[in-house]
Amino acid sequence: TQNGLSLICVCLSVLGLDSDESYEGTSEASFKDAVVYDGTQRNNGSLPQENGIRKHRTTLPAPMFSRNNFSVWGILKKCIGLELSKITMPIVFNEPLSFLQRITEYMEHTYLINKACLLSDSIERMQAVAAFAVSAVASQWDRTGKPFNPLLGETYELTREDHGYRLISEQVSHHPPISAFHAESLVGDFVFHGSIYPKLKFWGKSVEAEPKGTITLELLKHGEVYTWTNPFCCVHNVILGKLWIEQYGTVEILNHSTGDKCVLNFKPCGMFGKELHRVEGYIQDKSKKKHCVIYGKWTECMWSVDSQTYEANKKAEKKGDSKKQKSQEEPEGADNDDADDMPEVQETVAMIPGSTLLWRISSRPQHSAKMYNFTNFAMSLNELEPGMQDHLAPTDCRLRPDIRAMENGDMDEASREKERLEEKQRSARKDRSKDEEEWSTRWFQSGTNPYTSSQDWLYTGGYFDRNYSDLPVIY
């Protein structure tokens, strides 16, 4: 149970909702019990090149620290009576990324957007977009570390020439926390943008996040716009038991030019776990004619198959199932009083003959477990390459000293810096309210999403001109 409460905050964090401001310094345990890590070498900051494309680092400079010696009870005691949003956790429950970097992980499978741009068949394009929407939440799997809450005005940029895009994001509001991002293809093929402001509910054993905010993908050469909202995310066993993450709810990807849509159902795992992590849906046109079925798991892969084949297969399967049930006893009602354990049955996706593979998750590096369960892509996000400092905005996450210290394994320094930054943010806010000054965002403006008419934050452009003259000093 040692992680226990950790995840209230993970969640709060994933959701960016904890105040992150009442942190009281390094807690009970010391940080000496580092996991001994022998796999990879330290990254000394050299800049490997291959064929002119820069290679990104595939490991962090230091392994994570064990959480074993942190007493959840010790933390809980201090929190009794506090509002959920006031609880903050020792930094040992964090992961060394800002929430702005965490949402950048949507871009890990950008090749699917690039593929969509190249396809001439509109149904195949929708399939690729649907696979992208699912792949964008796949990096959440097993990531129970809490990303750092972005400071107001914090930014993150990422240019990946190898994948053909660049991205800029900004923390545009602190209460409630809102992160806005805008990515664009380097050759003018697509624009991908959104603003994320998760809403949290605490259900006693779990924390559920409703991912408010619309995500918009524009395929410019096809003149198509797709919008959707991410599924709900739930972290189970925040108090007791083993933490695990479930995503559920209906994601509707709308083609605004025609009214065609793809409906994806992220299934709740259910009593016996048969549906664990399953995603199932279909593409239909305006006249509600189904064109194909899409199925798989967000932790594994997605397939597409025509509707008739799918229905036929399902019927055959049902027959088989009812035979099996006669010969097999139902499991006794599991004793689930203390924790909602993740079902152990973890079947892989059964491929229906005739299906086309849309996406498969890449395996995580071997040292991932010692590095916050990061994917290869996540490993590279906070890399500060030599020379980068000369052109990065001074508000960029990579320059945040607390995250940098944590990444380097210096937990005491990370805690001190985190506290200092939060204090600095608080006092800046006080000064502004004294002077009756309003905070103004720098690269994004509040507005209406032209396709959904919902409230959104839109990029005003110009970030890559690199005129940083009026940026606040937040670090």
Ligand X SMILES: *[C@@H]1O[C@H](CO)[C@@H](O)[C@H](O)[C@H]1NC(C)=O
Q: Which of 166, 141, 140 is nearest to 155 (CA)?
A: 166
**Which of 70, 197 has the CB closer to ligand X?**
70
Q: By CB under 6 A, which span of 73-81, 177-185, 187-195, 250-258 interacts with ligand X?
A: 250-258
Site for ligand X contains 363 (CB under 6 A): no
Interface size with ligand X, residues (CB under 6 A): 27
125 forms part of the interface with ligand X (CB under 6 A): yes
If the CB atoms of residues 250 and 467 are measured against ligand X, the closer one turns out to be 467
Q: Taking CB under 6 A as the rule, does residue 366 contact ligand X? A: no
Yes or no: say if 199 and 85 are a contact pair by the CB < 8 Å rule: no
Query: Residue 170 is inside which H or E element, if any?
Result: strand 165-173
Q: Which of 16, 90, 96, 145 binds ligand X (CB under 6 A)?
A: 145
Binding mask 252-271 for ligand X (x = CB under 6 A): ---x-xx-x-----------
SS3 category, 112: helix
User: Rule CB under 6 A: which of 12-41 touch ligand X?
Assistant: 29-30, 32-33
- Contact flag: residue 467 with ligand X (CB under 6 A): yes
CB of 142 vs ligand X, minimal distance in Å: 4
DSSP 375-393: -HHHHHTT---TTGGGTS-
The enclosing H or E element of 300 equals none
Q: Which of 303, 372, 377, 443 binds ligand X (CB under 6 A)?
A: 372
b vs e for 227-239, b when ≥16 Cβ sit within 10 Å of the residue's Cβ?
Answer: bbbbbbbbbbbbb
Could you give the CA distance from residue 245 to residue 235 in angstroms, rounded to a whole number? 5
Residue from 27, 69, 313, 380 binding ligand X (CB under 6 A):
69
Of residues 339-358, those binding ligand X (CB under 6 A): none
Shortest Cβ distance from residue 315 to ligand X (Å)? 27
User: Is 160 a binder of ligand X (CB under 6 A)?
Assistant: no
Q: Of these, 369, 384, 388, 428, which contacts ligand X (CB under 6 A)?
A: 369
Q: Degrees (nearest 5) of the Cα angle 61, 375, 240?
A: 95
Q: Does 123 bind ligand X (CB under 6 A)?
A: yes
Between 374 and 457, name the residue whose CB sits nearer to ligand X: 374
Which residues lie closer than 8 Å to 82 by C-beta, 6 or more apart?
22
Beta strands at 178-185 and 165-173: parallel, antiparallel or unpaired: antiparallel
Q: How far is the CB of 319 from ligand X (least distance, A)?
A: 33
Distance between CA 474 and CA 471 in Å, rounded? Answer: 9
Residues pairing with 3 in the sheet: none
* 51 is a site residue for ligand X (CB under 6 A): no
Compute the distance between CA of residue 298 and CA of residue 136 in angstroms, rounded to an integer.
Answer: 9
Q: Report the C-alpha gap between 233 and 413 in whole angstroms.
A: 32
Interface residue with ligand X among 88, 104, 135, 144 (CB under 6 A) is 144
The residue (of 120 and 327) whose beta carbon lies closer to ligand X is 120
Residue pair 10/144 in contact (Cβ under 8 Å)? The answer is yes
The residue ranges that bind ligand X (CB under 6 A) are: 29-30, 32-33, 44, 46, 69, 122-123, 125-126, 142-145, 224, 255, 257-258, 260, 285, 369, 372-373, 467, 469-470
